[in-house]
């Protein structure tokens, strides 16, 4: 299945964008250079010479020599000031910079493409003109320096460059939990052997006898040394400027991830059976370029050629290639803040809003089909109930052994569910346990309607654990049925609809308009968490969680102490005012009151942060917030309850959802 180019995982970190046009001027001193100061010095010298000459002149009648010199000095100072203001190079340079900076700011505003205000065409054409530089390829391998050795069986062994490069991939990960997993070790060793020379293959037989310690230490030291050096930003900016932008329909748009993935070892998510396999270097010969016919075709690196050059304006990708681990297609696409991405998001949420108008009719239909005489209809209706109620994915058909044993709703097997007529005080409970997308375990115990429970008992009759639960249903037939129910309807549309409607309902239920911003944000994250749980967006507890919680608790304890001292100070001030009853002591009481209030507010905020972190330690809020929740719901909530949008979306996310921020007012309803 085709999927987007995987870069760094999207986190809640702000991205610094390189602005075109004023980059070179920022941070430079505005004062004049030594050369620019020379004319001023010459003027001062000339002035001194003039004054020296005047000493020899006779004084004016009625004035002393001293008075005359004083008057002339003031006049000359005024003259010099006027000359400097009028033609001083430093003044002119500063003025010029200010004018250019103003122009740059104006240009930035003019270049902001408000595509959502333009007329939309539904002809399937994504662009008319597209020009770009192609992908930026990972640099070639740099051999290890002398003195950094690999050992086998305790003996130093020089590896060929291909084998050495792959060895460095493993060495870099020695302190990672992956290298302790047997599957990872076996997959790595099998792929590493393929990169060795025949002589190396004869010698290296066991991974356990390999010693990568020196190589690992070399990269750790190198990383620490690089951290200590000042950042080489100019090189990164140059690469970003050259490869990180494209021209689409006359507009300069930022590209999402313009770099090909470097070679390395595949990790996967969860317990992926292919972890440890070698991700091979992407070469120009693997890459398909997509651009317009009238554009300048990107030049491949010297000595190489593209696999193919296409001019397909019905797709949104700029370049693509097939990765070697799972055979999936990776793409270079535009930045999430671009028109193409924004339009796709907008359409996704509009389709989900259309479902809102027909969802009750669809639910009535699948409930009626629970008692259908056709087994196919019964299975389809129960599967649709799970997709709607539990936000399960439909599941993609794949050949046996093609990828990891991940399943969706249509591909569930008998072994993936357990039926409990009664469990924990609830009736008709279905226990799910299977690997979902990206090998993330889905485990849930859900009470279902009685007829659904009866149908599941029927579907499981006379079947083995490895048999399909819905043996009369396929993803293809389910998708066709969904299209018949509503144009554009898919299982993902159900997920988007249920996620967005859940957020809206939870926000209405949890938000108190009298709360402060910190408490409102806690309510927002709780509403978001309800969605993340619905969509099974889990994560492992971060390694730094305990330490960060200890640091936060230390801040809470310090703030408690500060509050206690502030309250003691207030009591003392009140006693002092009671004795003196003057204006000064009264002002002291008011000042101490404000200190107490501020400390209480800060303590409350810290406690809310601690609660929020604890509740979200195993839940990934970002996936649902960025992919399944209509951003207009969040924007409207912020506007209605006076919460700064910056508290919900960081800079990068605000650029991604600029269309929603511009469109939604406080009365928007999904």
Among all residues, which ones are annotated catalytic? Answer: 628
Q: What is the DSSP letter of 318?
A: S
**Gap between the Cα atoms of 317 and 109, Å rounded:** 27
Q: Which long-range contacts (CB under 8 A, 24 or more apart) does 83-87 make?
A: 83/43, 84/40, 84/43
Give the list of residues 6+ apart from residue 301 with CB closer than 8 angstroms, or none.
137, 284
Phi, then psi, of 616 in degrees rounded to 5: -105, 10
**Gap between the Cα atoms of 318 and 130, Å rounded:** 8
Half-sphere exposure of 577 (CA within 13 A, CB side): 16
Look at strands 288-290 and 308-310 and give their pairing: parallel
Give the list of residues 6+ apart from residue 49 with CB closer than 8 angstroms, or none.
none
**Gap between the Cα atoms of 337 and 654, Å rounded:** 8
In 475-544, which ranges are continuous DSSP H helix? 475-485, 491-510, 517-534
Structural tokens at position 172: 């870099």
Q: List the beta strands (DSSP E) in 115-225.
A: 130-131, 150-152, 155-157, 210-211
Torsion on CA atoms 501, 505, 507, 512, rounded to nearest 10: 160
Q: How many C-beta atoms surround the C-beta of residue 247 within 10 A? A: 16
Q: Which long-range contacts (CB under 8 A, 24 or more apart) does 393-397 make?
A: 393/436, 393/437, 393/491, 393/492, 393/495, 394/475, 394/478, 394/479, 394/490, 394/491, 395/475, 396/1, 396/475, 397/474, 397/475, 397/476
Strand-pairing partners, residue 431, are: 418, 445
**Gap between the Cα atoms of 607 and 589, Å rounded:** 27
Q: What angle separates helix 517-534 from helix 491-510, to the nearest 10 degrees?
A: 150
Structural tokens at position 560: 């408690």
Q: How many C-beta atoms surround the C-beta of residue 630 within 10 A? A: 27
Strand-pairing partners, residue 259, are: 136
**Gap between the Cα atoms of 16 and 105, Å rounded:** 17
């Amino acid at each position: 299945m085709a999927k987007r180019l995987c870069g760094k995982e999207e986190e809640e970190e702000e991205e610094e964008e390189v602005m075109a046009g004023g980059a070179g001027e920022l941070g430079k001193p505005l004062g004049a250079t030594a050369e620019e100061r020379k004319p001023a010095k010459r003027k001062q010298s000339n002035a001194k010479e003039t004054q020296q000459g005047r000493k020899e002149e006779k004084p004016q009648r009625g004035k002393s020599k001293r008075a005359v010199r004083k008057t002339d000095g003031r006049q000359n100072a005024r003259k010099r000031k006027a000359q400097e203001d009028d033609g001083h190079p430093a003044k002119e340079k500063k003025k010029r910079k200010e004018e250019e900076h103003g122009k740059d700011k104006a240009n930035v505003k003019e270049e902001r493409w408000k595509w959502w205000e333009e007329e939309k065409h539904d002809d399937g054409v994504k662009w008319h003109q597209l020009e770009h530089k192609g992908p930026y390829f990972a640099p070639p391998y740099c051999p290890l320096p002398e003195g950094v050795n690999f050992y086998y069986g305790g003996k130093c062994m020089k590896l060929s460059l291909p084998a050495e490069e792959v060895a460095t991939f493993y060495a870099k990960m020695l302190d990672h939990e992956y290298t302790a997993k047997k599957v990872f070790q076996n997959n790595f060793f099998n792929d590493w052997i393929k990169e060795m020379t025949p002589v190396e293959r004869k010698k290296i037989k066991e991974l356990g006898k390999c010693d990568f310690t020196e190589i690992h230490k070399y990269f750790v030291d190198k990383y620490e040394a690089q951290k200590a050096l000042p950042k080489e930003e100019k090189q990164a900016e140059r690469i970003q400027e050259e490869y990180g932008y494209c021209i689409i329909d006359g507009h300069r748009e930022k590209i999402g991830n313009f770099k090909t993935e470097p070679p390395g070892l595949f990790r996967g998510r969860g317990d992926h059976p292919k972890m440890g396999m070698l991700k091979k270097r992407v070469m120009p010969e693997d890459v398909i370029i997509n651009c317009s016919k009238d554009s300048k075709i990107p030049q491949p690196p010297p000595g190489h050629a593209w696999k193919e050059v296409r001019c397909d304006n019905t797709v949104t990708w700029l370049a693509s290639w097939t990765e070697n681990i799972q055979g999936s297609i990776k793409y270079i696409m535009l930045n999430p803040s671009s028109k193409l991405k924004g339009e796709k998001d907008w359409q996704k949420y509009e389709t989900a809003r259309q479902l809102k108008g027909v969802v009750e009719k669809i639910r009535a239909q699948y409930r009626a089909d629970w008692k259908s005489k056709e087994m196919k209809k019964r299975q389809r209706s129960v599967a649709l109930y799970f997709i709607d109620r539990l936000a399960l994915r439909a599941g993609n058909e794949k050949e046996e052994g093609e990828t990891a044993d991940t399943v969706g709703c249509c591909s569930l097997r008998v072994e993936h569910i357990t039926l409990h007529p009664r469990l924990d005080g609830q009736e008709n409970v279905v226990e799910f346990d299977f690997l979902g997308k990206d090998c993330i375990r889905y485990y849930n115990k859900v009470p279902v309607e009685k007829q659904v429970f009866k149908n599941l008992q029927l579907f499981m009759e006379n079947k083995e654990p490895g048999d399909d639960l819905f043996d009369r249903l396929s993803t293809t037939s389910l998708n066709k049925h969904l299209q018949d129910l509503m144009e554009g309807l898919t299982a993902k549309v159900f997920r988007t609809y249920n996620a967005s409607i859940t957020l809206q309902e939870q926000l209405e239920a949890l938000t108190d308009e009298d709360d402060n911003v910190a408490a409102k944000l806690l309510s927002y994250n709780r509403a978001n968490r309800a969605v993340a749980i619905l969509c099974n967006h889990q994560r492992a507890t971060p390694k730094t969680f305990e330490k960060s919680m200890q640091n936060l608790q230390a801040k809470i304890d310090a703030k408690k102490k500060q509050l206690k001292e502030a309250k003691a100070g207030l009591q003392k001030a009140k006693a002092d005012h009671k004795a003196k009853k003057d204006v000064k002591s009264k002002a002291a009481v008011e000042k101490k009151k404000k200190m107490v209030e501020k400390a209480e507010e800060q303590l409350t905020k810290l406690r809310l942060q601690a609660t929020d972190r604890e509740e979200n330690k195993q839940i990934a809020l970002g996936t649902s917030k960025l992919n399944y929740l209509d951003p207009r719901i969040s924007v409207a909530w912020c506007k209605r309850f006076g919460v700064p949008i910056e508290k919900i979306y960081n800079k990068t996310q605000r650029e991604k959802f600029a269309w929603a921020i511009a469109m939604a007012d406080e009365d928007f309803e999904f």
